[in-house]
Structure 1
Amino acid sequence: MPARECSRTACSRPAVSTLTYVYEDSTAVLGPLSRTSEPHAYDLCADHAQRLTAPQGWELIRVPGSSGASDDLLALADAVRPRPAVPEPVPAAEPSPRRHLHVIRSSND
């Protein structure tokens, strides 16, 4: 199985890091090369990973580790996303009597 290459255009160096984005939180996560290629992640060579900057207004999280140490950086990206509060269960309402619509004619008819 050939080594994965850097995702940057015209770069054929071997990838050593994987970049994922959490668009909802404006966060980019750069970590060790994932074991499998993910369709929504970018594999980067050492040079491109080192020079990477986040878009203006975004946070860049660099996760240290050796190549292949992380199985799924998408799970890491989900881990930094704040969890919504769990709403309390609403008690079941008693069924209301079925109501029917009635036509009411105006006095002009």
Structure 2
Amino acid sequence: MFTLTYVYRDSTAVLGPLAAYVEPHCYDLCAEHADRLTAPMGWELLRLPAEEVPEQPSSDDLEALADAVREAARPAGPRGEPVGHGKEVGRRGHLRVLRSDQPRQ
């Protein structure tokens, strides 16, 4: 992946490694489109050296991904949801209004 940046003031297009953050006038490109890129007439195109990206993810990458999935799947804990069975008190189309019974103590 590459990032294309236009510097309108200098009539320059810069193609470099994928940017880590979003900026105005920046566009991410795949390798195929980056290879075929040409600058508009009268513009200069600068190609910065791209970082080598491994074909297969490393074990660290896979571990970080697994940790992120586990964290996202972890229950959020008690949310103060009403307890007990609801009693229908109204209906509109397919929607129902339920009132929770108070839990016994």
Higher strand share: 2
- Shorter-normalised TM range: 0.3 to 0.5
Higher helix share: 2
TM-score (norm 1): 0.45
Higher-RCO chain (CA-CA 8 Å, sequence separation at least 6): 1
TM-score (norm 2): 0.47
